[in-house]
Amino acid sequence: MKLIILDRDGVINFDSDQFIKCPAEWQPIPGSLEAIARLNQANYRVVVATNQSGIGRGLFDMPTLNAIHDKMHKACALFGARIDAVFFCPHTADSHCDCRKPNTGMLEEIAARYSVSFSGVPVVGDSLRDLMPAAALGGQPYLVLTGKGMKTQANGGLPEGTIVMPDLAAVVEKLV
């Protein structure tokens, strides 16, 4: 089985410094949903791993997050795309949980759920905290320059072996 892990905000959809707090604020980045469809056609399992501290901050609740993800799934379906699972961390940075990226807990949970070794698994993100757990577990980090990606690249300190690409569509072009 081929597995790919995508961050959500800044990779699949436009990001916001004020958080994506309702379905109306979730807007796909052009080409991202078609890219997911191409991954599906190439027999990849597409899994989203996303920090959602807006829940812990009280900016939105679980039914709202579910509605946002429902919109994402329906938008994917319009392009023949499918996201197999969404894993998320609802905690704030000061909670010191294991699941919040850059910690490895969420990615370890995904590997366990799919019974795969993490070695070489592509992990696509727009921030250092998306890439660090991938590198720590032996995955292949991809930085996209959408979302916070350009700022992340400019700040440096990327994990060794990180591949930098313009967007998710370019990552998929390279993989398939």
The H-assigned helical ranges of 60-121 are 62-77, 105-114
Task: Please give the positions annotated as active site.
Answer: 7, 9
pLDDT tens for each residue of 121-138? 999 999 999 999 999 999
> pTM for the full model?
0.97
pLDDT tens for each residue of 13-43? 999 999 999 999 999 999 999 999 999 999 9
Residue 10 has pLDDT above 90, yes or no: yes
CATH of the domain at 137: 3.40.50.1000
Q: Which amino acid is at 119?
A: S
How large is the average pLDDT for residues 65-86?
98
Are 29 and 11 spatial neighbours (Cβ–Cβ below 8 Å)? yes
Write out the residue range of the structural domain in which residue 67 sits.
2-175
- Number of independent structural domains in the chain: 1
Question: DSSP characters for 128-176?
Answer: HHHHHHHHHTT-EEEEESTTTHHHHHHH--PPTTPEEESSHHHHHHHH-
Give the pLDDT score at 1.
85
